[in-house]
Structures are given as C-alpha cells and as structure tokens.
Amino acid sequence: MAGQIKVTHRNHATWWAFALHRLSGVALALFLPVHFLVLGLAIQGEAALDGALIWTEQPLVKLAEAGLIVLLAAHLTGGVRLLALEFLPWRDWQKTLAALAGGVSLAVGLLFLVNAF
C-alpha cells in the first residue's frame, strides 16, 4: 500500500529484549506499592499481617508470584544484557544470548511455580 512505512527494527530479537526489559520494569514498579502496603500491615499488628499472609496462599496469588519471579528474572537478564552492550564489543551471537535470556527467565518462573504448589 502506498504511504505505509515498513517497520523492520521491531522484528529483531534485540528489540524484543529491549521491550521485555522495559515492560518488566514498569510491571515491577506497579507491583511495588502493593508490596509496601502488605509490609505496612506488619505495623498495624500481627493479625493484619497474618490475614494478608493467609490470603497469599490462594492458587491465583501463587500464580501471580510465579509471574513476578518471571518479571524479576527477565528484568535482571535484560539489565545484564544492557551492561554487556555498554562494556563489551558487539558480536552477532549476542542475539542468541538475548533469546536465551528470555528462555532462562521463563524457566526460572516455571521452576518457582512448580515448587509453589
């Protein structure tokens, strides 16, 4: 079609690694207020914190925890990738490492999920 611009940079593995790193960072930032809220329950007393901890035993919460672990692993591997880009010379095999980092992140989350149930 006339007037359309073909976007090719978004089909590159390193662009997807960049996007995953940014999205995982945003998701982790959105999680932090909830985390601090639950930690703040400890100030209100033992009963309030115990109620929140009992709530975390639900299967859906356990699944969300596994997702959180995947986000943490993805953000960690994305950050290590960025450090490698900054301090090491670029090589073609780094695309493979970006894909491998995504796979490791998913594997870590699934391993956590298996141990949670």
Secondary structure (3-state) at 6? coil
**Quick count: other Cβ atoms within 10 Å of Cβ 75?**
20
Q: What is the pLDDT of residues 5-28, one digit of tens each?
A: 666 667 777 788 888 889 999 999
| Weakest-pLDDT range from 4-8, 20-24, 31-35, 100-104 | 4-8
Per-domain residue ranges of the chain: 12-116
Q: Find out if CATH 1.20.1300.10 is the number for domain 12-116.
A: yes
Q: What is the pLDDT of residues 36-70, one digit of tens each?
A: 998 888 888 888 888 888 998 999 988 888 888 88
pLDDT of residue 29 exceeding 70, the answer is yes
Closest-CA residue to 117 (of 54, 43, 65, 50): 65
pTM assigned to the model? 0.69
